[in-house]
Amino acid sequence: MATSALAGHGHPPTTTGLDHRKVAIWAFIGSECMLFTSLISTYLVYKGRSVNGPFPHEVCNPPQCATQLKPILNIPVTSVSTFVLLMSSLAMVLALAAVENKDKPGWAGTGRWGRALASSKLWLLMTAILGSTFLGFQAFEFTSFVHEGLTIRQNLFGSSFFTLTGFHGAHVTVGVLWLLTLLAIDVRRGLGPKDALLVDISALYWHFVDVVWIAIFTLVYLIR
Amino acid sequence: MAHETHDPGHSSVSHVDHAALGEVHEHPSWGTYKWVALILTVITVTEVWIYYVPAFVASRLFVPVLLTMSAIKFAIVVMFYMHLKYDHKLFRALFTGPLAIAIVTMIVLLFLFGHLSIHAG
């Protein structure tokens, strides 16, 4: 299948035959890969080199800590938030499918479930809610860490951990705002197949935020 | 279930739009997305489960298995949810190029700072 751009099909002719906006978002995602890998590398390089507790996976005993401190990472809570973010990616692809197929009545089937599946508003809202839930889990985690004595200035683990997960949380926040903007447009005038690229670009960003968390969850939370 | 199938007879309209965007094939159907979500969930549950198996954590397989499962999840999301499996090769290059450079740099840094080592002889 030829992939050359067709005038009048969503974007003006380009030298690559591809929409510049989509090329731009992939280039941006490529650069973001390097940003997050540098942050993850920093975390891994400093791993196990904190002089003072609390520590991520180990108990901190006196005299390293004034009192005995248990391992600070809460795996059950983070596992749930990871699942929430994975499900938000599913909701995002369904939002994109709903927008792309809006001019095909019945594409998702008939009945209540079919109508729900075809509702871009529902899936955009669902994605934003799941993203916000993830942020809520992160706020809970950060707050509990600070209460347990881990701040960004406490030790090397705290500095690298809060920087890495804080940057990721900031990206999720931007993603949620982006999704809410799309939802507002959808409510106001409706999103259709001609707007599919707008949703596709936001979906790429959202899934990228998800894959970054997949790496963080394993490298930071699970590997001791 | 009726919602699990795309109607091939209706796919041409969407296909023209995708071609204009530089995409070579149709996006996956709801059925594919559902299976991808299920596989991601199963892998995540397995990851967390093995974290709580002390014998496995103590074994030399613990880190390689977790890294492999994480890489599989990463690849599945990129291929199916980000549609890179179906997209133009330029997009693949724009993503995998910087990712490869970043991963190599990370491995080099881990060697440099003594987290990884090669014992020769």
pLDDT at A113: 74
Q: What percentage of chain A reaches a pLDDT higher than 70?
A: 93
Where exactly are the structural domains of chain B?
Answer: 2-86, 88-121
Q: How confident is the model at residue A35 (pLDDT cuts 50, 70, 90)?
A: very high
The least confident of A32-46, A69-83, A192-206, B22-36 is: B22-36
C-alpha A99/C-alpha A177 separation (Å) is 19
DSSP A194: G
pLDDT (mean) for B74-95: 93
The least confident of A41-50, B2-11, B62-71, B111-120 is: B2-11
b (16+ CB within 10 A) / e for B35-74 = ebbeebbebbeebbebbeeeeebeeeebeeebeebbeebb
Cβ contact (<8 Å) for B3 and A117? yes
Cα→Cα distances B114→A45, A90, A93, A160, Å:
8, 39, 41, 18
Q: Note the pLDDT tens digit of each residue in A143-173.
A: 999 999 899 998 999 999 999 999 999 999 9
The pTM score is 0.86
pLDDT at A203: 97
C-alpha B4/C-alpha A216 separation (Å) is 33
The least confident of A59-73, A206-220, B21-35, B45-59 is: B21-35
Residues of A in contact with B94 (CB under 8 A): 23, 26-27, 29-30
b (16+ CB within 10 A) / e for B98-114 = bbeebeeebeebbeeee
Residues of A in contact with B77 (CB under 8 A): 89, 207, 210-211, 214
pLDDT (mean) for B9-15: 37
Residues of A in contact with B106 (CB under 8 A): 37, 40-41, 44
Across chain A, mean pLDDT equals 89
Q: Note the pLDDT tens digit of each residue in B66-82.
A: 999 999 999 999 999 99
Helix, strand, or coil (residue A60): strand
Residue in the block written with tokens 């059925």 = B31
Q: What is the H or E stretch that residue B102 is in?
A: helix B89-112
DSSP A218: I
Cβ contact (<8 Å) for A37 and B78? no
DSSP A2: -
The least confident of A28-32, A126-130, A149-153, A213-217 is: A149-153
Q: How confident is the model at residue B14 (pLDDT cuts 50, 70, 90)?
A: very low
Rg of chain A over CA atoms, in angstroms? 21
pLDDT (mean) for B53-61: 93
C-alpha B23/C-alpha B40 separation (Å) is 25
CATH code that applies to domain A25-222: 1.20.120.80
pLDDT at A11: 66
pLDDT at A17: 80
User: Which DSSP string corresponds to A116-171?
Assistant: HHT-HHHHHHHHHHHHHHHHHHHHHHHHHHHHTT--TTT-HHHHHHHHHHHHHHHH
Q: What percentage of chain A reaches a pLDDT higher than 90?
A: 68
Q: How confident is the model at residue B13 (pLDDT cuts 50, 70, 90)?
A: very low
Q: Which residues contact B51 (CB under 8 A, 6 or more apart)?
A: A75, A222, B57
From the list A85, A168, A170, A97, the residue with the least C-alpha distance to A127 is A85
Residues of B in contact with A92 (CB under 8 A): 81
- What value of ipTM does the predicted structure carry? 0.87
Does residue B11 surpass a pLDDT of 80?
no
Which candidate from A9, A117, A208 shows the least CB-CB separation from B17? A9
Beta carbon pairs, A and B, within 8 Å = 185
**A67 is written with which tokens?**
């009192």
pLDDT (mean) for A12-40: 91
For residue A92, the chain B residue with the least C-alpha distance is B81
Q: How confident is the model at residue B5 (pLDDT cuts 50, 70, 90)?
A: very low
Cβ contact (<8 Å) for A103 and B7? no
Contact A105, A98 (CB under 8 A): no
Cβ contact (<8 Å) for A30 and B10? no
pLDDT at B40: 96
Which candidate from A97, A215, A222 shows the least CB-CB separation from B74? A215
Cβ contact (<8 Å) for A222 and B16? no
A11 compared with A30, residue with greater pLDDT: A30
The least confident of A68-72, A118-122, B90-94 is: A68-72
pLDDT at A1: 36
Q: How confident is the model at residue A29 (pLDDT cuts 50, 70, 90)?
A: very high
A9 compared with B12, residue with greater pLDDT: A9
- The CA-based angle B27-B32-B34, given to 5 degrees, is 125
Task: Say yes or no: A103 contacts chain B, CB-CB below 8 A.
Answer: yes
Residue in the block written with tokens 């596989």 = B39
Q: Note the pLDDT tens digit of each residue in A178-212.
A: 999 999 999 999 898 999 999 999 999 999 999 99
pLDDT at A52: 83
Half-sphere exposure of B38 (CA within 13 A, CB side): 6
From the list A183, A74, A73, the residue with the least C-alpha distance to A127 is A183
Cβ contact (<8 Å) for B106 and A23? no
Residue window 200-219, chain A: list those with CB within 8 Å of chain B. Answer: 200, 203-204, 207-208, 210-211, 214-215, 217-219
Cα→Cα distances A189→A198, B104, B114, Å:
14, 46, 57
Cβ contact (<8 Å) for A75 and B48? yes
**B20 is written with which tokens?**
């204009």
